[in-house]
Amino acid sequence: MRLPATAALLAVALAGTAQAQTAPAPAPGGVFEKKTYNYADWTKGRFSEAVTVTGPAKTIFLAGIGAEDEDQKPGTIRHPGDFTAQCKYAYEKIKKALEKNGATLGDVVKMVTYVTDIRYQQLYGPCRTEAFAGQPLPAHTFLNINQLAWPGMLVEIDVTAMVPVK
């Protein structure tokens, strides 16, 4: 248990030297501030190592989203075998789900991405960069796992977003 405590202290110590990037208010009249932090140079432009949110907000938790076809029977996957197409479709679905809850990708504070082959990491970066279109990137964890919910599913993205309380 000593290592996690040491790592936490190091993260706190580094927080003072990290470069913060403040996102514009997520919505007109926003009453909270979101800041992203990168402590190591190699993380800049890839993901935020930490995201802080100060002020009252509504938190939106999206279930893992992948290339499940919303118009077909459960388990039908769009774009079989095409990681990039599945990734883009997942981000389209994420954007729609966020919009239904009054949010955008700019309001995302944490993501976990699951892939079935670590080699997809090279394809995932450009897909995510295109989806976020220059907005500050959230804290992000990228995991390689054996299998996702449905056969043929290559990527699943779990998203947490925050918007001001209205």
- Give the total number of structural domains in the chain: 1
Output the six-digit token pair for 150: 């449905």
Summarize pLDDT for 126-155 with one digit per residue, the tens.
999 999 999 989 999 999 999 998 999 999
Range of the structural domain that residue 103 is part of: 2-164
Summarize pLDDT for 104-120 with one digit per residue, the tens.
999 999 999 999 999 99
Q: How many angstroms separate the CA atoms of 107 and 86, rounded?
A: 22
What CATH code is carried by the domain that includes residue 87? Answer: 3.30.1330.40
- Could you tell me if 57 and 163 are in contact, meaning their C-beta atoms sit under 8 angstroms apart? yes
For the question of whether the overall pTM of this predicted structure is more than 0.75, the answer is no
